[in-house]
Structures are given as structure tokens and as C-alpha cells.
Structure 1
Amino acid sequence: MALICPFVRFSLRVPIAVDNRFGPRFCYVPSLYFIESGSAKVVYDDGSYVQLKTGALYFLQPGIRHKWVINEGDPFAFRCVFFEWSYRPKPQARVSIDLLCLRPEDYDDGLLDEPLEMGIPEQLMVDSFPFWKGLFESVTTDVKVLDEEDYPGLLAVNGHFLVLLHHVFQLARRQSEPKDPRIAKLLALMEQKSGGEYGDVEHWAEKLGLSRSYFHTLFRAQTGLTPARYWNQCRIKKAQNDLLETNDSVTKIAERFGFSSLYVFTRLFHQMVGVTPTDYRQQSRLNL
């Protein structure tokens, strides 16, 4: 195997309307996607598909023919990075579309990278939407195809991309390893209740028979989040559902899930979802 030294070709944000045709196509290089909003499925030539929703990471090997089918009613957008595991000169690739093949008659074998199994699953779910969105934003290249002569731009973008890849591998490891049964039981309980403020750390640790410090260490190793952060994530997910499925006021929903004030709820919701609760409800209903 050649020396692994990841190299970004280009990265961009792509919004797709329901009536847009997006594919079939394939990419000459590997690509990594972050679903920023909406939901869709990627359909392969054999009829199999993968369903993607907001907060999903999707990894696509080079040379796999596919098309995107957008779910009706959902404003859909993703951020993607097209890269190589190690740099290989592609002088014929001057703009982003050159790294995609849209028609069989345009196929260029000299551009196709060899698929490598590097341990990245086809799909992962992120554990913090704003954090991952920021990682992908930092790799944006304004649709410019980078080459080895653009050293300043190459250095900045690829430095950010190495950090992004590091977090992808860490996330894949966390989601593939079996959960400690004590933490798994607690996660199920937190998902089920999701009401009230986060309990005293000593209480959670005591219920599991662990010291406070080890409880924090174990919980973070298993989930990538602190217990309080995971608890807030559970509450925000439940609040999102109520904003869509009920006509209850934002204040009532904040009280239902134990937030001390509307201000605290709105601030945390914005941090995790990217918009305020009111805007989230309005945007979702406008697209029904």
C-alpha cells in the first residue's frame, strides 16, 4: 500500500431541490458527506440504497455509480469533501466537475483512484451537529481544485482535513465498540426520561457503583460526550419532536423538559440545532 497522506481536491456545500436531478454519476476519488439538512437516499445501480438524514456522515468509495433521491417536503443540503488518500497528479482535473463522471462516454480510467478500505463505515451519525458542521466548513475550498503548487491553500485546507478525518475515525471507533452494559443501561434511561434538569453527578455515579471521576471518564469514552451534554442532547431531540408534532408554545415545551427558563432553552437549542426553536418550527412547517 502506498504511503497514506490524505489530500483534499475540493469541498463545497450542495443544496438540492426535490425536483432536481442529481445523478446517476460516480466520483473518481473518495468523498465524504455531512448531511446538513433534510433527508434523502443514495441509490446504487443494483437497486440497493442507504437512507440519510440530518446529522449523518456518508462515505463513498470512488467508482461507485449512484444517484441522490431527495425526500419530498424536506429542504436538503449536504457538505462534501472530495479527496485522495495519497496525492496523485491529475493535470486534466482543473475544475470540480472533472473529478466526477456523469456520462459513460466521458469515462477516463486515468482519473479513477483505487478504492482503499480504511475503516470508515458507509454511514455514521454525528454526536454534535454544530461541531461537525464547523469541521466541514473549515475544509471549504470554494470549489477550487487544489494542486501541489498551491502550497498555502493546500497547507491550510489539508491541515483542517486531517483534524476532520481524526474525528471521523474516533467516531467510528466509538460507535463500533460494544457499550459497557452499565453505560448502555443509563443511556436507555436518559433517552426514555429526557425531562428535568441534569441530576447530580454523584447520584448518577452512585447508581452505577462508580466514582465520580471514573464515571465521567467511562461515559465520555463510550459516547464522546460528557453526561450533562448527552442529557441535554436527549432533551433537545425530544423538544424538536414536540415543536413539529404539537401546537404547544415554545415556553411550555421548555418547561416540559425541565429548562430553567425560555432563554436557557433557546440558547441551548440554537447551539445544538443551528436555529432558534421558533425558527425551527416555522421552517419545518413552511416545507410541508
Structure 2
Amino acid sequence: MSAAYGGNEQALIDPTVLHPFLLFAQRYAFYPNESSFERIAYMNAIIIVETGEGHLHMDNRDYPMKAGTLVYIPAGKMHRWRAAQSEPMIHRTAYFDWNPRQRPFVSEGQFFHILSLHSAPLSVYMDEEPAIRIEPITKIDNLPLWLSYHNRFLTMPGRIGGADMREAIRLRGEFQVFLSLFLSNTSKDASNNGDPRIKELLKLVASQAEIEEQELVQYAEQIGLKRSRFYALFREETGLSPKHYMTRRKLQRIKCDLRQSDVTITQIAEKYGYSSIHVLSKNFRKHIGLTPSEYRRQSRM
């Protein structure tokens, strides 16, 4: 199952086209034994445990929380918090999109979907994940440094994106400095691990408007990687097979076209090499959970 609720797969965003957008950031103190509902968020979350203890239930595991724990929860990931009785947690939170999205939300609570409700979350409002492998749980050493960075973009409760243009720009700038620190500590791509040849191939993929799996295999052969070795290294680096990776990348581009342009779905099918609109619709629904028409309609509500 992917990060998305119900197994619908999110298309990966090329890191070179990211424009991280801060929605809101707060300091939240839990009550003793406080427990949240099992929920998902439409946006991504970075959480620092400032003080106290508790647990995070995610990925069918219970993660113990204590001061200095750094947590990343991608959009669509099911999770539930539980605070300790004696020393309940205090969280520093930052909720954001990797790329700005339009949603008809006016309050912070609307960005969360409680899984006990009968209605399903709307995938069209779900942020998309970047092609970056981020550790969900890490331990930070210099907690005061992290808190000082977080203090610079704390927002008033109920205020989304900043009160005016100047404040919004300042908050986003401060958040992006914090995000850079976060990625340097949690992103596997930030380390020196992994085969540099795969990293170069991923850069090639990011630089191309369209590239097919077979072309990628041919490039790998040109730099001395046999097919079986290439597939193993690619999965190790990205967590996906080349075919799966390229499919998700193509779907992300199709979703952008559906949201941001008025070209017909037939034209989109032709643009991305589908033999017919029916083949595109079947593939899109399989991975996204909606037909292209449904996705376009929901994205413009």
C-alpha cells in the first residue's frame, strides 16, 4: 500500500520542480493520556517532540516518542497520536504542501480526515510526494537549534498561509530554511550512500519531458549496468521498479494537465502515448482511484 489512503498511489514529483508551501505551524501541548482519532492529513507534516513522551501509531507500528524525536508524516498516511499520563508531549508542528494546491478549506481542521467517518477522503485534495526518500522517524541532537528555527515561522492558530502578502513571504522563506535543515538530516538522497550511476540516471529522468522504461534500460547498459543489476540498484535507490517509477511520474504530469489546463482528455491521452481515452481512464482510475474526468471536476470544486 502506498502512502495514500486506501492504496491509491501518489505520483512522484521531480525534486527539481518543488515549491514547498507552508500552510500553518504551531506549538501543541497534549493533555495527559490524550489520544487523537485515527486520521489522515491532506498535507504533509513535520513534527518535533519538544518535551514529554507518548506514542505514534503508523504503518501498523507503535513508535515511542520522546524529546528530540523528529517525525515526518506524508499526506495520506494513516496515523494516531497518544500522549503519556505523567509527561504528555508538546509538539512543534509544520504542515505544508510540496507544491501549492488549491483547496476549498478555510480552517485547519478541514485539512484532516477522520477515518471513523463514513465518507472517504477526496484524493484530489491530497498533496503529492516528491521523489525523495525521507526517514519517517529520526533523532535530533541539538534540539534548541531546531526549536529556534521553528520559532521563526510559528503562525497564529486558525491562520493559514500568513495574514498578508509580506508576512506570507517571510513565513515561507523561514520555513524553507527549516526544510533544508530537515532534509539534510532525514533524506536518504542527502547521504553519500547509493550508486552514483543510478543518481545520474535519476537526474536524466528529471531533465526529460518524457522518457520510457526501455530508454532508461538502454542508458543503464551504456554506463555498464546489466539489466538485472540496474533493476536491483534502482529499486534500492527509489523503493520502486523502473516501470513503477516511470508510471507514477507520468501520472503526476497527467494530473497537472488535468488541474491546470483545459485540453481535452483525448488530447492528454494522445500526448502521453495512450492508444485511447479508455486505456488512459482505466490506468488512471487503477492508480488514482478516480477517472480523469472525475479528478478534473473535483480539482475545480
Q: C-alpha offsets along residues 201-224 of structure 1, whole Å, 9 cap, x if unaligned?
A: xxxxxxxxxxxxxxxxxxxxxxxx
Pick closer, same or farther for the CA change 1:125–1:104 going to 2, 3 Å: same
Greater relative contact order (Cα 8 A, min sep 6): structure 1 or 2? 2
Q: Report whether the alignment pairs 1:10 with 2:30.
A: no
Structure 1: how far apart are the matches of 2:162 and 2:91?
27
Residue 37 of structure 2, aligned match among 23, 32, 37: 23
Match of 1:66 in 2: 79
More moved, 54-63 vs 106-115: 106-115
Gaps of 5+ in 2: 1-12, 194-301
Which of residues 94, 101, 110 is equivalent to 2:106? Answer: 94
- Aligned residues of 1:95 and 1:143 also touching (Cα < 8 A): no
Any conservation in 2 of the 1:93–1:145 contact (CA below 8 Å)? no
Structure 1 runs (4+) deviating above 6 angstroms are: none
Amino acid at match of 1:170: S
Match of 1:55 in 2: 68
**Aligned counterpart in structure 1 of residue 127 of structure 2, from 88, 113, 136:** 113
Distance 2:118 2:83 in 1: 27
RMSD: 2.5
Which of 98, 119, 139 is 1:85 aligned to? 98
Displacement after TM superposition at 1:177 (Å): 6.1
CA 34–147 in structure 1, closer or farther in 2 if over 3 Å, else same: closer
How far the C-alpha of 1:68 sits from its partner, in A, is 0.8
| Aligned match of 1:168 | 182
The 1:19/1:172 distance shift into structure 2, 3 A limit, reads closer
Contact 1:6-1:86 at 8 Å conserved across structures: yes
**Number of positions where the alignment pairs a residue of Structure 1 with one of Structure 2:** 176
Identity %: 19
Find the residue that maps to 1:11 and give its secondary structure.
strand
- Among 29, 50, 55, which residue is 1:36 paired with? 50
Gaps of 5+ in 1: 179-288
Aligned to 1:135: 149
Q: Note the C-alpha offset of 1:84.
A: 0.4
**Is 1:139–1:157's contact at 8 Å kept on the other side of the alignment?**
yes
Alignment of 1:153 onto 2:167:
yes
Q: TM-score, normalised by structure 1?
A: 0.55
User: If the length of structure 2 is used for normalisation, what is the TM-score?
Assistant: 0.53
